Amino acid sequence: MALWLTLAVNSIALGGLLFLLSAGFSLIFGLMRIPNLMHGSFFMLGAYFGVTLLWQGVNFWAAALISAAAMAVIGGLIERFLLRRLAGEQLPQVLLTLGFALIIGDISLMLWTGDPWQPATPAHLQGAVQVAGLFFPVYRLVIVMVAVVIAAALWLMVDWTRLGAMIRAGVDDPAIARVVGIKVSQLFTLIFALGAGLAAFGGVIGSPVLSVYPGLDAEMLPLALIVVILGGTGSLLGTLVGSFLIGFLYNFGQARFPDLAYVILFLPMLLVLVLRPQGLFGKGGS
């Protein structure tokens, strides 16, 4: 029983990190209609940058926010000056993001070497809380709470603000959104920057759990793709549900059925693609 509960807590924490990685990715995919293959690189590069700040003595949460802001700026510049020039050309956009992912991977290897970096859990979040005789790591619970708070903030932004209405219009039908005067290209930049920032923030707060190492981007990107396919592009609710679902499938699959871990992980995605291509919470058409 204790093992199952430990796996459950770890799965929920991973689900929180996957939501931070996948939320912006889902909106980017919904607006731009391309998979951003360097999204995992924002997660890894943001984590490296944040860990470097931690080594310099910067406060943990300040390092996470600074890293998120830096990746948001980089992401916005890439979209504004490179991806926008390839608007409507999906294959060149995919190749561009793939090229950037490879470049970022090599630069990270050159600057931070191939050794894993794993910062210590912040002192004020170390330890565990006891519930019904069982102990749960405080830091993993904090990750979940942070993910829930950010999910609530994104939901309020998307569903209850004018900006959110424009984002929803751009996700549902970008052509009509342009006709009614919505500057979809500016939404591209904003959402791309937001997605990059959230991914970097998730990378930093996940580093005490996952550590940071070359290839982390290649491990996290497929998980984000599966989350978006399961939940539906542009759907925050779908991303939230899909993130925790994949967190459970990934952790329990690796722990209980290691030889079938990837079958357990990818089979639900294949079923969704066949039975409901728009995802569990996505809208058909568009």
Q: What is the pLDDT of residues 161-171, one digit of tens each?
A: 888 888 878 77
Alpha carbon separation from 264 to 3, 22, 44, 255 (Å, rounded): 19, 20, 25, 12
- The structure tokens listed for 245 are 């679902």
Kindly report, residue by residue over 218-258, the tens digit of the pLDDT: 999 999 999 988 888 778 888 999 999 999 888 888 878 88
Q: What is the pTM of this model?
A: 0.90
pLDDT interval class at 286 (50, 70, 90) = very low
Domain boundaries 2-275, CATH class? mainly alpha
Per-residue confidence (pLDDT) for residue 39, from 0 to 100:
93
CA-CA distance, 143 to 16, in Å (whole number)? Answer: 6
Stretch 94-112: mean pLDDT, rounded? 94
pLDDT interval class at 1 (50, 70, 90) = low
Kindly report, residue by residue over 104-136, the tens digit of the pLDDT: 999 999 999 889 999 989 888 888 777 666 677
